[in-house]
Amino acid sequence: MDSSTHSHFDVVVVGAGPAGIAAAVTASDCGATVGLIDDNPTAGGQIWRGEAHKTERSAATPWFERLVRSSVKKIHGARAFYVDDGMLAAEIADGTRTIAYRELILATGARELFLPFPGWTLPNVFGAGGLQALMKSGLPVAGKRILIAGTGPLLLAVAAYARKCGADVLGICEQTTMRKMMRFAAGAAAIPSKVADTIRLAWALRGIPHWTNSWPLAALGNERVERVRIVRDGEGHEIKCDYLACGFHLIPNVELARLAGCQIEDGFVEVDAWQQTSVPRIYCVGEPTSIGGVEMAVVEGRIAGCAAAGHREKARPLLRAREKYARFARELKDAFALRHELKAIAEPDTLLCRCEDVPLERARAFGSWRAAKLQTRCGMGPCQGRVCGSAAEFLFGWGTDSVRPPVFPVECASLASITSMGSSTGSSTGELI
């Protein structure tokens, strides 16, 4: 393959999770030529990872079957790092692919929010979703003692999956209150699928302690985590464990949308009734628009798929369902809002930016994210601020909304390929570097 290859589609979807698969299949069914781009080797994203190869049927099965039967062109192992008017660039294993589109659907998902605390960089301290992904990829955890902490329904799913894999789940430390949890459960009861999910999870988690008003204070150990100090209802406890899985809900991946000029409000991409962003011909679905669960992501994908393919009338019956899930998303946000006490769990010498070894006290000395970056290189390592930037927003109230291409680290040859293409076409890609 040449170092730079070119493709053209009516609709290009970035992200092959539930929302992206639904958008791609729906647009294809409406007669559009569709390209589906994802940086993983297979489709599914974090939620449906590995579902395509399971023998038992699940909610994901029909979508994978439709994807296989469709004419969607799947481009795996490709990381989109630049988007321009009618064109995006993706780095693949053996070069760069530039992909032209008539309509673009961003389904870039979300990542976990990590909050620093003493020992959070010790080996065997994982993000909750990160540990789940590793287990789905084959990490052996049978017989291992796992403590799960943070906030949100993801903790329950990770605990259930860890137990299914043979782990000894010691407990779930949930930072929100029991009152908020019960109010959230009552609201979720209005959605039949959520009731069924709750019943399945309750059975899968039977016997596992679920502590509210609880969060980690420190991970302790020599070469790896050996025990975790937690607070529970105001009292301190230490728990011996082999793994700590910790995540404080989700942060939407809006970098590509921001790079494309889409309007962002309160950290989420603004969309209209058809999932179209403020930029013509660009749509956004799933977690970048709101954190509302897989059902909402799929409905949004279907709406955007119809609209991008020029068949909005087919999406009208889906609008009421989306509103139902939107109410659930609002209840989810309220129930698991982070409490003020979490801002005090990090010590002055606790690393905020683990890529550049910047401790909390050094970053705190500056008045803004930009100043901290200039003086300490905080946020300028391999993660490009995706971990420490989100933590700094919560801890200090800083705005970290600046984004420059490329949104992911890429080889210089990839940048040169896109820049030279921009020079030949007269587009704005010359501003890349």
Q: What does the pLDDT read at residue 65? A: 95
Summarised one tens digit per residue, pLDDT across range 45-69 is 988 987 877 878 888 999 999 999 9
Residue 393 pLDDT: 94
pLDDT at 417 over 80: no
Indicate the pTM of the whole model: 0.91
pLDDT score recorded for residue 400: 81
Supply the DSSP string of 211-273, one letter for each residue: ESSEEEEEEE-SSS--EEEEEETTEEEEEE-SEEEEEESEEE--HHHHHTT--EETTEE---T
pLDDT in tens, 96-110: 888 999 999 999 999
338 has pLDDT over 50: yes
For residue 422, pLDDT beyond 80: no
Q: What is the pLDDT of residue 5?
A: 63
- Averaged pLDDT score across all residues of the chain: 91
Rounded average pLDDT over 116-121? 97
Return the pLDDT at 51: 81
Q: Answer whether 360's CB lies under 8 Å from 368's CB.
A: no
| Average pLDDT over every residue of 242-264 | 95
What pLDDT is recorded for position 191? Answer: 82
Query: pLDDT value at position 419?
Result: 64
Residue 425 has a pLDDT of 44
Q: Beta 227-232 vs 282-284: how paired, if at all?
A: unpaired
Q: Which residues pair with 251 in a beta bridge?
A: 111
**Higher pLDDT among residues 59 and 27, named by residue:** 27
Task: Measure the CA angle with vertex 41, ends 37 and 44; round to 5°.
Answer: 70
| 407 vs 349: which has the higher pLDDT | 349
120 or 5, greater pLDDT: 120
Kind of pairing between the strands at 168-174 and 210-211: parallel
Say whether pLDDT at 3 is over 50.
Answer: no
Query: What pLDDT does residue 300 have?
Result: 98
Mean pLDDT of the 362-386 span: 92
Rounded Cα distance between 288 and 250, Å, is: 10
pLDDT above 90 (res 93): no
Q: How far apart are CA 287 and CA 14, in angstroms?
A: 13
Distance spanning both ends of the chain, measured CA to CA: 25
Residue ranges of domains in the chain, CATH in brackets? 4-111+251-334 (3.50.50.60), 119-248 (3.50.50.60), 346-396 (no CATH)
Would the pLDDT of 414 be above 80? Answer: no
Give pLDDT, residue 430: 36
Local confidence band at 431 (pLDDT 50, 70, 90 cut-offs): very low
Average pLDDT (366-386) is: 91
Query: How high is the pLDDT of residue 110?
Result: 95
- Do β-strands 168-174 and 145-151 pair in parallel, antiparallel, or remain unpaired? parallel
pLDDT digits (tens, 9 = 90+) for 258-310: 999 999 999 999 999 999 999 999 999 999 999 999 999 999 999 999 999 99
Q: What's the angle, vertex CA 254, arms to CA 148 and CA 337, rounded to 5? A: 40
Residues 140-178: tens digit of each pLDDT: 999 999 999 999 999 999 999 999 999 999 999 999 999
Q: Under 8 Å CB-to-CB from 340, ≥6 apart: which residues?
A: none
Classify 125 as helix, strand or coil. strand
Per-residue model confidence as pLDDT tens digits over 201-244: 999 999 999 999 999 999 999 999 999 999 999 999 999 999 99
